[in-house]
Amino acid sequence: MVVEIPEELLVSKPGQFFMLKSLQDAFSLRRPISIHQVNKQDRTMEFYYEVKGRGTESLADFQEGEKISLQGPLGHGFSVVKDKKVIVIGGGMGIAPMKYLLDDLKENNEVTFIAGGRNQDAIEILDFFSFQKLRAYITTDDGSVGMKGNVVTKLKDLLEQDSYDQIYVCGPHGMMIAAAETAQEKGVACEISLENRMACGVKACVGCSIQTVDGMRKVCHDGPVFDSRKIVNYDPKEKASICCGN
C-alpha cells in the first residue's frame, strides 16, 4: 500500500510503525503496520502487510484515491550506525521493514543482508528490493530459492568467517531468538524488532508489555526495536490472549 503522507509525518526512522485503519471500517481498531519504504520527494510511504483478519482485509480493499485513518510514526526504531560492518536479517513478513533500514544503512556502511522464508512465495517481497551497494544472501527452508536452510545458519557462517559491528533482526519469534543468541555468543551488538499484538499503539492499554532487564516495557512505545540483550524470556504468544487488537 502506498500512502501520501503529510510532510510533517515523513520524519520517521526505520523500525517505526503507523497505526492504520480504513475509514469504511467502523468496528476494527487501527492495525500496527511497519514502514516498508519512504519517498520524501513524492511525500509517500509504503506499507507491506499480510492479510490475516478483518482489519487487514479492509486495508486490502482500498482503492486508489481513498482516504485512510493513520497515526504515527510510533515507537522506537533501529539505531542507524555509520562506518560499520553490519548484518541485516529479515525472515518472512519480517523482511518488510528491512527495506527502509537497508536504504538508510547502505550509504555509510558495509552491509550484508540475509533474507529467508519457508519457500519462494514467502519471500516474494524481495521483488521490491534493490541489492545495489550491499551483499545479499537468500535462504529458503525447501531450497526453492537460494540456499536451502535458514537465515541463522547463514549468520553463523558469516560470523565464523569475519567480524561485524552490528546485527539487525526482524522475523518469526524462534528465528529472532536464535539470531540474538548467536550474536551474543560472538559478542556482536544485536537489535531485534518484536511483533507483539497491539491495540492502542500509544502505551495506554498495556497489552503489549514485556519483561526486560530494566523492568516491564511496552513494545509499542519502548520498542518495537530492542537491544536483544535486554529481553527476558520473550514469547509473543503469552500476550495474544489479553490483547484486544484482534
- Which residues define the annotated binding site for [2Fe-2S] cluster? 200, 205, 208, 220
Distance CA 242, CA 240 (A): 6
Residue 224, preceding peptide bond in cis (omega within 30° of 0): yes
- Residue 220 Cα to chain centre, angstroms: 13
Q: How far is CA 241 from CA 200, 208, 212, 238, in A?
A: 16, 11, 20, 7
Residue 20: all three cell numbers together: 492504520
168 φ, ψ to 5°?
-120, 135
* Residue set of the binding site for FAD: 31-34, 55-56
- Residue 199 Cα to chain centre, angstroms: 18
Q: How far is CA 34 from CA 67, 99, 129, 147, 238, in A?
A: 19, 11, 16, 27, 22
Most distant CA pair in the chain: distance in Å?
A: 54
Distance CA 82, CA 108 (A): 5
* Residue set of the binding site: 31-34, 55-56, 200, 205, 208, 220
